[in-house]
Structure 1
């Protein structure tokens, strides 16, 4: 089947991802608009945050490893089989975490949202196969279909049943139905019947484990900060914070659109010793990330308060000052994600682990001090400080990898 150009792949990935992220954001708008008070928004925020821990385990950073597997160490069947294993393990671990750390009223929404994310996580490995064959148009179309279906399902659940659980259940059902499209398209590119072998699974498990633990700790930074805000200031405060800051997630996702299709090219440039090409691509990518967030920052300064007031109403608009610290937090989150994925594509799993571990350790005292001092904004401050530390360490590791090749 004919491959698409890099430009076409990036375009389809960007359109699909932007639409998907926008629909995810619209869910937080709907839950704030269609529910009485902000408790449901707070519960949904916790469910989303907890699901990030599952996502890190379920994804197991295999997408970055998979698309940079230029020597084809593993087959598509083995990647798919391994993904099913990590989804099962991630689900069990996250349920245990939820039972220990969350209140009983949150368990059902968390479980349902985990089921939704499990479908998302499975599709990701199929999209990895699509990307390897330069057919990210399949990825874009898949995201358009799934986002439309889960947004409609969620709206019906809230509007007609006034139930967050019913709304999330609709998302689960629509997502699993839409997976049929991905399976149909991807199996035309490669054999994707799951292959699970102990030897290959063990090798992938051990190879990516440091990076997986590191990125899970990266997620804990955000999850812990939000959970602490909810405990210290109540579900309503958490709901307000999550509602104001969620639009920024769309901007954060834009960063992923820039670098995700390039990871294989980064890996190939590094592997073949084309250091100047690698550095040039790195600088262009970092510049693009800065431009994205600079433009968005100017936009929020100009119309942010009016936009929040129009979409969410006066209560949220009164807390519009939260968006600026949230934007800084989002930019640093995107930077950490990019640098972590880049180190994974260069096979420096330990570097990814060390950087995110130190950032996570910094976040615990920072969250207690800054949330107590600054309230809702303290959540963004603590995450930002933690991710600044992570970014510095990851950049140091990247320089250590590339410098010897540049000298040679």
Structure 2
């Protein structure tokens, strides 16, 4: 344990460089593991197991992550501490214990509900519950990693994410390869995830020396209150993003869920690229808006919109031209028994890429609304689109299958982006007149 702690805490004199490198490595491994696991579960355990993994890990599990996480990292890492009107690590940790416990209870209720309604077999419910547990522990680990970042040790955040991912994903794949059983691999991964938090988070936080573990009466309640609207927005946002996947799990078989999860992967890449384009200009947009420089704000918004639009056109065009070839390669990775399983869905693949591009533009408008301090408007848009998604997704999937799921995703991204756009336009007009 001491040797591991020394390895984690070791940092060169160039801390900024270490922070950048390890944060990049950790984020990359985390994203890569999600994609690799989706392929290998289907290859090693079959298409039905792949579908169960898709709903348990990438969909419902990620939804439970949002409950455990509570959307608090932006608050936590910018909090100046209890002595300056903020909160201590002890208070954030107590809050995270409560949200993680709530997520476990919700996951258990969901599993029992699905079994009781005859929608899941007990084995599927157990796997989904354990995969959700894996993600909930991810949310618990985030409170440590947020504190590392607040203390100026972002490299520890990256190391923790990287080492935990390698340990838990490696354990999962090893057991899956030996047993060909998802039900055997899930508890192994869950235990490895818990071990990773103990090794790479719990044992490190006590060695930093500057961490405040104190708790004040009423502080946790204040954290719930301060982050409540943000949490609800994050929760609804992910539901909208995943509504088509929930509908496929409800209306189709497990194999369909697994295959849809594979053709849905470009959305993650598009999201990363979009953030790479958007985040560097947010500071300038904020300065322009706060200084009432509407023309400067609009110029940046137009420039990034054109860039996102151009990249979207290229991505959709490339998908229409090369999509079948890409899906054939994915089938080869899955194995000969899956030949033809994905290539029928080239149109759906292209529609999902288009939806991803629209989502990227919506993300730009989302950040614009945050800069304008219109979080309530964001929440209202999420409520309306989530309600529409709950009704429309099952209908489209039941009528058109996976193609309907792709259309639903694209439609909801369009609705969400349009809602954000209307809010931005109205506030921009108000600002110019004022």
Aligned counterpart for 1:227 among listed residues 246, 254, 279: 246
Displacement, 1:137? 2.8
Aligned to 1:33: 43
Q: Per-residue displacement from partner, 1:41-96 (whole Å, max 9, x unpaired)?
A: 11111212112221222111111333455796423413333222221222222332
The structure 2 residue matched to 1:88, chosen from 97, 101, 124, is 101
C-alpha distance in 2 between matches for 1:222 and 1:288: 23
The aligned length equals 405
Q: Is the counterpart of residue 377 in structure 1 residue 409 in structure 2?
A: no
The equivalent residue for 2:3 is none
Q: Judging changes above 3 Å, is the alpha-carbon distance between structure 1 residues 228 and 63 closer, same or farther for their aligned structure 2 residues? A: same
Partner residue of 1:140? 158
Q: Deviations over 1:340-395 (max 9, x none)?
A: 57756775442232111111112133213422443202112112212222223234
Cα deviation, 1:291-334, whole Å, max 9, x if unaligned, reads 76566556544352343233224133423413222223334455
> Comparing 20-29 with 321-330, which one deviates more in the overlay?
321-330
Between 1 and 2, higher relative CO (CA 8 Å, sep ≥ 6) is seen in 1
Cα distance in 2, alignment partners of residues 202 and 29 from structure 1? 42
1:199-236 Cα distance to aligned partner (Å, 9 max, x none): 22222212322232232222333444223223333222
Q: Deviation of residue 10 (structure 1)?
A: 5.5
**SS at 1:362 equivalent:** helix
Report what 1:56 is aligned to.
Answer: 66
Asked if the contact 1:221–1:386 (Cα under 8 Å) also holds between the matched residues in 2, the reply is yes
- Checking the alignment, whether the CA contact within 8 Å between 1:244 and 1:316 is kept in structure 2 is no
Instruction: Say which of 333, 339, 343 aligns to 1:311.
Output: 333
1:28, CA displacement in angstroms? 0.7
2:7 corresponds in structure 1 to: none
**Corresponding residue SS for 1:375:** helix
SS of 2:340's partner is helix
Aligned-residue RMSD, C-alpha: 3.8
C-alpha spacing 1:268/1:342, structure 2 compared with 1 (3 Å): closer
Structure 2 unaligned regions, length at least 5? 1-10
Name which of 367, 373, 377 aligns with 1:351. Answer: 377
1:281 to 1:13, Cα distance in 2 relative to 1, 3 A: farther
Residue 368 in structure 1 maps to residue 394 in structure 2: yes
Q: Aligned ranges for residues 139-218 of structure 1 at < 5 Å?
A: 139-179=157-197, 180-183=199-202, 191-192=210-211, 194-218=213-237
Does the aligned pair in 2 maintain the 1:229–1:371 contact within 8 Å? Answer: yes
Query: CA distance change for structure 1 residues 152 and 375 in 2, over 3 Å: closer, same or farther?
Result: same
Native 8 Å contact 1:80 1:192 kept in 2: no
